[in-house]
Structure 1
Amino acid sequence: MTTCNSSSLDLCVLQEPNVTEMLPDRYALVMPITLRVVLATVMIFMITIGFMGNAIVCLIVYQKPAMRSAINLLLATLAFSDIMLSLLCMPFTAVTVVSADWRFGGEFCRVSVMLYWFFVLEGVSILLIISVDRFLIIVQRQDKLTPHRAKVMIGASWMLSFFVSLPTVVGWTVVEVPTRPPQCVLGYSESMADRGYMVLLAVAVFFVPFSVMLYSYLCILNTVRRNTLRIHNHAESLCLNQVSKLGLTGLQRPPQVNVDMSFKTRAFTTILILFIGFSVCWMPHTVVSLLAVFSSSFYFSPTFYPVSVGALWLSYLKTVFNPIIYCWRIRKFREACLEFMPKTCRIFPRIPGRSRRRIRPSNIYMCGETQSAV
């Protein structure tokens, strides 16, 4: 049964007879106050790490003109959307998880839903653009994404994300003040418009990006595998030619072939890890959101609250996941973190390392008697 009170900020609150009266006691049993405090504390830690890590990405691109390539502009935009999600959505969710009550008013409830989907859609759009760009470069061998085109696509993605998330704030969909979920969400509704909008969000946020990125990365992996085999075969043929020219007999062992492809695949592997993190963090939340709108038995069940808290916490984990991957995989990001970190906070002093020259791509085909490849 749906009850609407037009005098209360024009919000519709979904209720089921003989259920909402039992919610506080029921959820006190399902989610003890100790567990809720622990979850809120972890979320505060996630806000801190997510803000600091993503802020460093933005500062690197802003302060160093040499870093303003197309891919770095996209990564900075992704970091900025994660910062906004951490600052404008996660603190209110942490307070709601602890208090088990929404304390910020009905009008801001709609705004929070709009901001949540707005920044999530923007982050997913940037990941999708990066994946298609890697596909064009590696598979199609077309490097068409210039910094200017990247800026145009970034602006278009912001506009598209805004218009897709707009219906939640203008009152076109049913938004529930959280007596059941940990934040304002699109609750259970029998309206075809509400269900259709939830399907649109799920398709735009997860299913279409996941399908396109999965296809792109499968094609990239296949291309990298074929290129690696081709380079190995070419290096082996060069080595055999040198063996024949030197007049070595069959009793002598030919030199081993060792082709290092890490410099070609490391950047792609980093983006592939970001895709895996996106899939793991967003699949549970997408499924829970769809079930909440379509299934009354799930939405009004006592398991909905802990399941929704877990799915929401996992979706917010993505804001922390990206900076950790950057620090693990990108040397320049680690160096920038040390530069921005105060000297008094550094555990170990920074020791200048021995400079190493970049390996020329042509050296990969060099073959000698004792070392067949660089």
Structure 2
Amino acid sequence: MACNGTSLETHRYALLNASLGVDPGAPTPPAPLRMSLAVIMALMVVVGFLGNAVVCVIVYQRPAMRSAINLLLATLAFSDIMLSVCCMPFTAVTLITVRWRFGDHFCRLSAALYWFFVLEGVAVLLIISVDRFLIIVQRQDRLNPRRAKVIIAASWALSFCVAAPSLAGRALVEVPARAPQCVLGYTELPAGRAYVLTLLAAAFFAPFGVMLGSYLCILHTVRKSAVRVHNQSDSLDLRRLPRAALRRLQRQQQVSLDLSFKTKAFTTILTLFVGFSLCWLPHSVYSLLSVFSRGFYCGPSFYATSSCVLWLSYLKSVFNPIVYCWRIKKFREACLELLPQTFQILPKVPERIRRKIQPSTVYVCAENQSAV
């Protein structure tokens, strides 16, 4: 779009190429690479949809699961489902055919939806991080299901406001000729660059900074608490302690157990943050370069870079349910319960024989065990 002179000349050039049926895009990557990315992306659609749907179904079907943290996780799962359904299939088709075959208007709509669902997912991760910071560091458990619903509604509204300008044409979003989907293209307009900076700050850089600071403070607090509990336990002689001191020691041991429980829960959220960072840092840097560097945007490797970076950004929607299955036992149990009887390898144990456990959350840390 901006690789052939001024903006007016570029517009005329694009119209001329469109009328002649010429594709002015960058050279495409080799067919084996495009086919491999497309096939893997199709598998990602299936895994991302099914895995995140399990989270939504669990929270919807069981009232005991509708805690504040679970509502946030269900919202995160729903945003990943919508990203997988509304954007990924069209990018996979374009990788195979090398041409966007769904129209200019739908291309801009898919770009707006892409940023909309990405912003919502990042907002939910940010809310969870701040909530863990308040609970573990500040010892303030203020988030309840009612407040969580209000915050979730506000995050959807703010995400739409930030993503909507790309649909209205205020941002420079180009119909794929140089990428397998509508991406932010090079522009010299100050308004366009300002919007891109705002978009990327809201989608990655600002949340990344806040979450990184929160997790560093949480790690510092958990380490200090563990050292303090350990030192207090070692300095006591159980044989010479009065009964009141023994009860106090038991409470300290309970705090230590709760600390270990909560550390495991925090590790799950920290893993989600690491996955978000690894999947979205390349895309954020790529978007900045494509908007501010004409040499990068007009370079021969832009299409291949776009394909790989977009594939990596979509990987986040598949990464979350994999982490749930790896870290959270109740998520694995729920997946087995939702499987049809014909697909279950092991026979289902009757409910009366199974060990009774208190209904808990998808999240490994129960809400009543949040304080350090």
Q: TM-score range by the shorter chain?
A: 0.7 to 0.9
Query: Is 2:98–2:180's contact at 8 Å kept on the other side of the alignment?
Result: yes
Give the aligned partner of residue 66 of structure 1. Answer: 64
Structural mapping, 1:216-227, within 5 Å: 216-227=214-225
| Percent of aligned pairs sharing the same letter | 61
CA distance in 1, matches of 2:23, 2:47: 39
Q: 2:33 aligns with which of 32, 35, 40?
A: 35
Structural mapping, 1:258-273, within 5 Å: 261-273=259-271
1:129 aligns with 2:127: yes
Query: Is 1:100–1:182's contact at 8 Å kept on the other side of the alignment?
Result: yes
Residues 112 and 4 of structure 1, relative CA distance in 2, 3 Å threshold: farther
- 1:234-256 Cα offsets, whole Å, 9 max, x none, are 22133x2x24469xxxxxxxxxx
Aligned residue for 1:317, secondary structure, equals helix
Give the aligned partner of residue 204 of structure 2. Answer: 206
- 1:275-310 Cα offsets, whole Å, 9 max, x none, are 001100100000001100000111111121111111
Structural mapping, 1:276-287, within 5 Å: 276-287=274-285
Give the aligned partner of residue 345 of structure 1. Answer: 343
Give the aligned partner of residue 52 of structure 2. Answer: 54
Paired residue type of 1:324: I
Instruction: Please state how far the C-alpha of 1:262 moved relative to its aligned partner.
Output: 3.0
1:161 aligns with 2:159: yes
CA distance in 1, matches of 2:233, 2:134: 27
Which structure 1 segments of 5+ residues have no match? 247-256, 359-374
Alignment TM-score, normalising by the size of structure 2:
0.84
Query: Is 1:102–1:183's contact at 8 Å kept on the other side of the alignment?
Result: yes
Give the aligned partner of residue 247 of structure 2. Answer: none
- 1:138-161 Cα offsets, whole Å, 9 max, x none, are 000000001000000000000000
Paired residue type of 1:234: Q
Paired residue type of 2:204: F
CA distance in 2, matches of 1:97, 1:228: 51
Q: CA RMSD in A?
A: 2.7
Q: 1:94 aligns with which of 92, 117, 131?
A: 92
CA distance in 1, matches of 2:133, 2:300: 45
Query: Is 1:85–1:119's contact at 8 Å kept on the other side of the alignment?
Result: yes
- 1:88-117 Cα offsets, whole Å, 9 max, x none, are 000111011111111111111111111000
Residues 245 and 231 of structure 1, relative CA distance in 2, 3 Å threshold: closer
Query: Is 1:174–1:189's contact at 8 Å kept on the other side of the alignment?
Result: yes
Which structure 2 segments of 5+ residues have no match? 243-252, 359-372
Give the aligned partner of residue 355 of structure 1. Answer: 355
Residues 50 and 245 of structure 1, relative CA distance in 2, 3 Å threshold: closer
Alignment TM-score, normalising by the size of structure 1:
0.84
CA distance in 1, matches of 2:15, 2:349: 60
Aligned residue for 2:183, secondary structure, equals coil
Instruction: Please state how far the C-alpha of 1:36 moved relative to its aligned partner.
Output: 1.0
Residues 332 and 90 of structure 1, relative CA distance in 2, 3 Å threshold: same
Residues 329 and 309 of structure 1, relative CA distance in 2, 3 Å threshold: same
1:117 aligns with 2:149: no
Give the aligned partner of residue 327 of structure 1. Answer: 325
Aligned pair count? 336
Instruction: Please state how far the C-alpha of 1:350 moved relative to its aligned partner.
Output: 4.3
Instruction: Please state how far the C-alpha of 1:355 moved relative to its aligned partner.
Output: 3.5
Structural mapping, 1:125-204, within 5 Å: 125-204=123-202
Instruction: Please state how far the C-alpha of 1:174 moved relative to its aligned partner.
Output: 2.0
Aligned residue for 1:43, secondary structure, equals helix
Residues 318 and 13 of structure 1, relative CA distance in 2, 3 Å threshold: farther
Instruction: Please state how far the C-alpha of 1:186 moved relative to its aligned partner.
Output: 1.4
CA distance in 2, matches of 1:294, 1:160: 26
Query: Is 1:14–1:187's contact at 8 Å kept on the other side of the alignment?
Result: no
Instruction: Please state how far the C-alpha of 1:170 moved relative to its aligned partner.
Output: 1.1
Aligned residue for 2:184, secondary structure, equals coil
CA distance in 1, matches of 2:30, 2:324: 36
Paired residue type of 1:111: L
Instruction: Please state how far the C-alpha of 1:34 moved relative to its aligned partner.
Output: 2.1
Question: Highest Rg: 1 or 2?
Answer: 1
Give the aligned partner of residue 371 of structure 1. Answer: none
Give the aligned partner of residue 231 of structure 2. Answer: 233
CA distance in 2, matches of 1:335, 1:319: 21
Paired residue type of 1:220: I
CA distance in 1, matches of 2:32, 2:135: 50
